[in-house]
Structure 1
C-alpha cells in the first residue's frame, strides 16, 4: 500500500478545520479537490476516516487513530518549512567562494570583512586560485570571474557585477628616466611587461581611442600571469604594465603609479558572479552577491 503524505496532511487539515470548505481555503485547493483526495485516501486505506452529513464532519474510530499520525506528519512538515524559511531569512552555514588571488586587491578585503561582521553564523571558505573550478562537482556556492564574456554553460548562472576599465601604467621614476611615450608606436622604445593568459598564451595590448586602434604583444623582459606582480614591478620602475584601473587606483593615489597614454584604453572586462544552476540560492549566497554589487557594482 502506498500512501501520499500530502493526502494524510490534508486529512489532518480537514479534521482540524472542521469542513472541506475551510480546508480548501487554508490549502488553496478547490473544495471538490479536497473532497476527492480524502475519498481517494479512504479508498487506499480501506476504511472511512470521516462520516459526512450536511451539517458537520465526524471522525470515525479508525479516523481518530490515523489522525494522530497525520497530525505529526503535518507538524514535522511545518517544522521543516520553518527551518528552511529561517535559514533563508538568516544567512548561516558554509559559503564556498572561488576567485583568482589577485582579486583580493579589488576592494574584496573590505567586502569580506563587512560580510563576516554582518553574518557571523556563516563560515567563509575561500579558494584563491587562478584555475577555473568545477562549481557543481567541487560544491562551490559561487565564483568571481573577470572576462569579456563567459563560455555558455547551462549548469551555471552568471550575474554581472561591473565593468573593469584597463589602461597602461608606469611609475613616475620610470617615466622620468625613460620619458613618457607620446603615442602607442613609441611603446616599442619602452620596457613593456607582458600578461600571460590562463592557457599560457601572451596577451596582446589592444589600445583604442575613439575610432583609432593599435595592437601589439609586449615583448619586454618579463611576462607573468599575475596582474598583482605586474603592478608591483611597474610601481618599482621595471616598466609599463597593462592594469585594471581599480587595481591600480590605490598606487596611483599614493603617487607610485601614473597612467600612460591616458587617452588610450585597453579593452574593458566584466566582473561576473557565477553560481551553479538556476535553483533558489540560500540566503548566505544572495547576501554575498548583494554586498558585492553594493561595493563594486556600477549599475
Structure 2
C-alpha cells in the first residue's frame, strides 16, 4: 500500500477590522473549507481516470490564525493499492497542483464578459482562446477546467474576497516545487462569476439543400431539416440569418412541410465533460433561398 500525506494551506489576509481579529462570516468559512476539499478530491478523480491510477483520498482539517489573517490547513491523505499507475502518487499530486494553478490563472485572465469557456480539441491536444491568444492545455488541465464542481468550488473559495477588508487569498500546496496559488481582490470577480463551458472536439461547415421537416417561428427555436441529397441524414439547426428571420417575423415567408431551403452554416461537436457524450450542434448563418413545395419550377443548382 503506497500512502502519502499532503498539507494544503489556505490563507486569507487583509486590513479590515474583522480579519485583523481573525474573524470571518461562518457561511464564508464553511463554504471555503468545503470548496477547498472539493477542488482536490475532484482533481484526484480526474487524475485517476487519465493516469489509470486508483488513488483514494481523505481530507482532514485543522485551523488557526496569524496577525491580520485567518487560515486553515487540509491534510490530504492518499492511498494507492494498485500497481498500474503511470506516475508515482506524489508525481500525480504534483501534476494536479500545476494544473490547478494554471486553471486559476486562466480564469483570472478571462475578460468578465466571457460567460462561456470554449475549449477546442485538435490533433495536438486541447487549447483555449484568452483575449485572442491561444493557450495550450494538457489533458488534466482540460479535465479540471471542464469539471463544474471544481469551478464552483473555486468560486466558493474566492467569495470571501468580496467582503470589505479581506484583500488576498493564498493557497500553499505543500512542497516548494508545487506552485503557490494567489488571488487578489482585483481577481475576485473573474473567479466568483459562474461560467458555462463548451468543449469542442470537432467543427466544420454545412451547405446545400435541405427539406423542412419541422419549423418554428420562434427565432430562438431550432428547425428540423432533411438533406435533399441524403434523406437518411437529418439535423436540428438554429437559424441565425437576420435577413431571413426578419422576413419570417414580418410574415413575408410562409412555410409548409417539404419546402426546400438552400443554406450555408457551421457545425461543431461538443462534450459537456471531457468524459461525456459527444453532441453535434448546427447553426445556419445564411438562408440563400426558400423554395416552396408547390413551386413546380424548381431551378436547383
Could you say which structure has the greater relative contact order, defined with CA pairs below 8 angstroms and 6 or more residues apart? 1
Q: Same fold (TM over 0.5)?
A: no
| Structure with max Cα Rg | 1
Larger relative strand fraction: 2
TM bracket, shorter-chain basis: under 0.3
Larger relative helix fraction: 1
